[in-house]
Amino acid sequence: MSNWILIIYCGLITFLTRFSMIALLKKEMFNDRIREILSFVPSAIFPAIIFPAIFLDSSGLVQIENNPKILASMIAIIIGVLSKNIIATIVTGLAVYWFLIFI
Amino acid sequence: MKSNLKVFFKGVLDVSPLMIPVVPFGLIFGVLAIDIGFTPLETIGMSLIIFGGASQIVLLQLFSGGASSLVIISSVGAVNSRHLLYGAVVSEHLSDLKLIWKIIISYFLIDQAFARSNEYLKKNKEKNKYFHLIGGGATCWVVWQTTTFLGIILGAAIPEKLGLSFAVPLTFLALLVDDFRKLINVIVILISGLVATFGFNFIPYKAYVIVAALVGLFVAMTLTKMIKK
């Protein structure tokens, strides 16, 4: 599949989820239980992006030792939970990471 | 009744403060897309056609890992499913609109615009209140396209050894900071992350994002049920 076709399909699926939400779904279709489960979607899906990007090296092997990303992420989480600030979280993580790899 | 333009600009004004975190997100996306090997035109195309931060970054991440198109597209769909509830809440305010407006609003409906417009939609009864949503969405659109473009220019200048790809897990971590305060969420986060990490090489077709998310949701269902009993 060419890059452009892939981009268009990803655009379509993004659009269709949004469209189905405002044109097809109604609030009444969601009972409290479904609401509760949906509220866990970010916690269920984002770690699947986050963890491999932190713990796996470029060849896909788990790397725990000599991995500055682990410490940088942990400090970023602490700052994030305390400050509740998205930018502070990203900047702290990058700053610690750069400190560890360059110094 | 306020004029359409006035409601539109109220939307612009209300959403603007929420645009601050969108700036680094857009820059990082632009830089990484070039880094991975997309052309500047394709990168701009992604921001124009998809117009969704998380969707676009998931696309980059899986594309660079060599995932198949089908897995990339379904993972993008799964990432978007987190909005299902938001939309269902907004939809009650938009049920009388013409189809064309529903299509336009669907393109612009992103978290930030939604969060602010929902408050406005609840409080106001005017027929043209949906212009608030369009104003908020359009603001985010301008910021997203501009920062993508700046990221493309920066991407050519930033050396690879800076390891900017680490900004991807960081931006997603930043979206979860509230969830780290809740025990069940922390358990779900850890299990999903471990399944993805250890399944990375074993789950076929790089479908680890979907598999980990489903396991995570199953754990959430089980734990919330146990607590109620």
Domain that holds residue A102: 42-103
Half-sphere exposure of B25 (CA within 13 A, CB side): 27
Cross-chain residue pair A45–B50, CB shorter than 8 Å: no
Domain that holds residue B181: 176-228
ipTM value: 0.90
| Res B85: pLDDT | 67
C-alpha–C-alpha distance, residues B62 and B76, integer Å: 10
Residues B125 and B48 occupy one common structural domain? yes
Reduced to 3 states (helix: H, G, I; strand: E, B; else coil), residue A60 is: coil
**Residue A78 in contact with partner chain B when CB distance is under 8 A:** no
Q: Which residues pair with A56 in a beta bridge?
A: A62
The DSSP 8-state label assigned to residue A23 in this structure reads: I
Question: Would you say A46 and B175 are in contact if contact means Cβ atoms under 8 Å apart?
Answer: yes
Residues A13 and A54 occupy one common structural domain? no
Residues A28 and A46 occupy one common structural domain? no
C-alpha–C-alpha distance, residues B19 and B24, integer Å: 10
| Res B222: pLDDT | 96
C-alpha–C-alpha distance, residues A73 and A79, integer Å: 10
Residues A47 and A68 occupy one common structural domain? yes
Question: Would you say B153 and B55 are in contact if contact means Cβ atoms under 8 Å apart?
Answer: no
End-to-end CA distance of chain A: 43
**Residue B184 in contact with partner chain A when CB distance is under 8 A:** yes
Domain count, chain B: 2
Residues A58 and A35 occupy one common structural domain? no
B residues 50-89 closer than 8 Å to A (CB) = 50-52, 55-59, 61, 63, 69, 72-73, 76-89
Residues A35 and A51 occupy one common structural domain? no
Cα separation values, B27 from A10, A72, B57, B197, B200, Å: 20, 20, 11, 27, 27
C-alpha–C-alpha distance, residues B18 and A68, integer Å: 31
Residue B168 lies in a domain: no
Residues A50 and A88 occupy one common structural domain? yes
pLDDT in tens, chain B (229 residues): 679 999 999 999 988 888 887 888 899 899 999 988 999 999 999 999 999 988 999 999 899 888 899 999 999 998 888 777 667 777 778 888 889 998 998 898 887 777 778 778 888 888 888 899 899 999 999 999 999 999 999 887 877 777 778 888 998 898 888 899 999 999 999 999 999 999 998 888 788 999 999 999 999 999 999 988 7
Exposed / middle / buried, residue A76 (Cβ in 10 Å: 0-12, 13-18, 19+): buried
Cross-chain residue pair B59–A35, CB shorter than 8 Å: no
Q: Which of B132, B162, B192 is the last residue of a domain?
A: B162
B residues 103-122 closer than 8 Å to A (CB) = 103, 105-107, 109
Residues A67 and A101 occupy one common structural domain? yes
Residues A4 and A34 occupy one common structural domain? yes
Cross-chain residue pair A60–B201, CB shorter than 8 Å: yes
A65 Cα to chain B: minimum distance (Å)? 16
C-alpha–C-alpha distance, residues B112 and B215, integer Å: 28
Residues A17 and A65 occupy one common structural domain? no
Residues A34 and A50 occupy one common structural domain? no
Residues A34 and A47 occupy one common structural domain? no
| Res B227: pLDDT | 87
How confident is the model over B116-171, as pLDDT tens digits? Answer: 787 788 888 888 888 998 999 999 999 999 999 999 998 878 777 777 788 889 98
| Res A31: pLDDT | 81
Residues A6 and A24 occupy one common structural domain? yes
Cα B7 to chain centroid distance, Å, stands at 25
How confident is the model over A41-92, as pLDDT tens digits? Answer: 889 999 999 999 999 987 888 999 999 999 999 999 999 999 988 889 989 9
Residues B182 and B151 occupy one common structural domain? no
Other Cβ atoms within 10 Å of B181 Cβ, number: 10
Domain count, chain A: 2
Cross-chain residue pair A44–B213, CB shorter than 8 Å: yes
**Residue B189 in contact with partner chain A when CB distance is under 8 A:** yes
